Amino acid sequence: MKYMGIADCHGIESFIPFDVNRIPTLFMRAEANRQRHAVFYVASFSDVANHVIGEIEECRKNGEYKEALIKLKRVGEISFPKGRADLYSKSWKLIPNPDLDPWR
Protein backbone atom coordinates (compact mmCIF):
# COMPACT_ATOMS: atom_id res chain seq x y z
CA MET A 1 0.00 0.00 0.00
CA LYS A 2 1.30 3.49 -0.88
CA TYR A 3 0.65 6.82 0.75
CA MET A 4 2.05 10.25 -0.01
CA GLY A 5 2.17 13.66 1.53
CA ILE A 6 4.20 16.46 2.98
CA ALA A 7 6.29 16.38 6.13
CA ASP A 8 8.28 19.20 7.68
CA CYS A 9 9.98 20.24 10.89
CA HIS A 10 6.64 20.06 12.74
CA GLY A 11 5.75 16.54 11.56
CA ILE A 12 3.35 15.19 8.96
CA GLU A 13 1.23 17.82 7.28
CA SER A 14 -0.51 15.43 4.91
CA PHE A 15 -0.82 11.65 4.61
CA ILE A 16 -3.12 10.46 1.83
CA PRO A 17 -3.47 7.38 -0.35
CA PHE A 18 -1.20 7.58 -3.39
CA ASP A 19 -2.81 9.51 -6.26
CA VAL A 20 -0.58 10.45 -9.19
CA ASN A 21 -2.87 13.39 -10.03
CA ARG A 22 -2.14 15.09 -6.70
CA ILE A 23 1.65 14.85 -6.93
CA PRO A 24 2.23 18.25 -8.62
CA THR A 25 0.21 20.17 -6.02
CA LEU A 26 1.87 18.47 -3.06
CA PHE A 27 5.33 18.85 -4.57
CA MET A 28 4.79 22.59 -5.16
CA ARG A 29 3.58 23.05 -1.58
CA ALA A 30 6.65 21.28 -0.22
CA GLU A 31 8.95 23.36 -2.39
CA ALA A 32 7.25 26.58 -1.25
CA ASN A 33 8.00 25.67 2.38
CA ARG A 34 11.57 24.41 2.17
CA GLN A 35 12.56 26.89 4.91
CA ARG A 36 10.80 24.46 7.28
CA HIS A 37 12.57 21.48 5.65
CA ALA A 38 9.30 20.48 3.97
CA VAL A 39 9.52 17.41 1.75
CA PHE A 40 7.13 15.61 -0.56
CA TYR A 41 7.32 11.87 0.16
CA VAL A 42 5.86 8.60 -1.04
CA ALA A 43 5.63 5.91 1.63
CA SER A 44 5.25 2.22 0.82
CA PHE A 45 3.98 -0.15 3.49
CA SER A 46 4.31 -3.90 3.56
CA ASP A 47 1.25 -5.96 4.48
CA VAL A 48 2.81 -6.54 7.89
CA ALA A 49 3.11 -2.80 8.53
CA ASN A 50 -0.37 -1.80 7.32
CA HIS A 51 -1.57 -1.39 10.93
CA VAL A 52 0.72 1.62 11.23
CA ILE A 53 -1.37 3.50 8.66
CA GLY A 54 -4.24 3.63 11.15
CA GLU A 55 -1.89 4.72 13.93
CA ILE A 56 -0.50 7.55 11.79
CA GLU A 57 -4.00 8.69 10.83
CA GLU A 58 -5.06 8.62 14.50
CA CYS A 59 -2.04 10.73 15.49
CA ARG A 60 -2.88 13.28 12.80
CA LYS A 61 -6.54 13.34 13.85
CA ASN A 62 -5.41 14.16 17.40
CA GLY A 63 -3.00 16.89 16.27
CA GLU A 64 0.05 14.76 17.06
CA TYR A 65 1.89 15.56 13.83
CA LYS A 66 5.37 15.02 15.21
CA GLU A 67 4.44 11.58 16.59
CA ALA A 68 2.85 10.66 13.25
CA LEU A 69 6.10 11.41 11.43
CA ILE A 70 8.13 9.41 13.94
CA LYS A 71 5.85 6.39 13.33
CA LEU A 72 6.10 6.82 9.57
CA LYS A 73 9.89 6.98 9.68
CA ARG A 74 10.07 3.75 11.68
CA VAL A 75 7.94 1.63 9.36
CA GLY A 76 7.39 3.14 5.93
CA GLU A 77 9.77 2.77 3.01
CA ILE A 78 10.18 6.35 1.82
CA SER A 79 10.99 7.71 -1.61
CA PHE A 80 11.37 11.25 -2.91
CA PRO A 81 11.06 12.85 -6.36
CA LYS A 82 13.97 12.43 -8.75
CA GLY A 83 16.19 15.46 -8.74
CA ARG A 84 15.28 16.29 -5.13
CA ALA A 85 16.13 12.98 -3.43
CA ASP A 86 19.51 14.11 -2.04
CA LEU A 87 18.20 17.41 -0.68
CA TYR A 88 15.01 15.87 0.70
CA SER A 89 16.95 12.99 2.29
CA LYS A 90 19.05 15.49 4.23
CA SER A 91 15.92 17.25 5.49
CA TRP A 92 14.24 13.90 6.25
CA LYS A 93 17.08 13.07 8.66
CA LEU A 94 16.56 16.38 10.50
CA ILE A 95 12.78 16.31 10.94
CA PRO A 96 10.71 16.44 13.07
CA ASN A 97 12.39 19.27 14.92
CA PRO A 98 10.29 22.42 15.51
CA ASP A 99 13.46 24.38 16.32
CA LEU A 100 14.25 24.33 12.59
CA ASP A 101 11.27 26.59 11.83
CA PRO A 102 12.75 30.04 11.16
CA TRP A 103 9.39 31.72 11.84
CA ARG A 104 8.89 30.39 15.37
Instruction: Sketch the domain layout of the chain as residue ranges.
Output: 2-96
Instruction: Encode pLDDT of 47-102 as tens digits.
Output: 878 889 999 999 999 999 999 999 999 987 999 999 999 999 999 999 999 999 99
The CA distance from 27 to 40, in Å, is 5
The CA distance from 72 to 8, in Å, is 13
Of 9, 41, 44, 37, the residue nearest 22 (C-alpha): 41
Q: How many CB atoms lie within 10 A of CB 41?
A: 24
pTM over 0.95: no
Instruction: Encode pLDDT of 7-28 as tens digits.
Output: 999 999 999 999 999 999 999 9
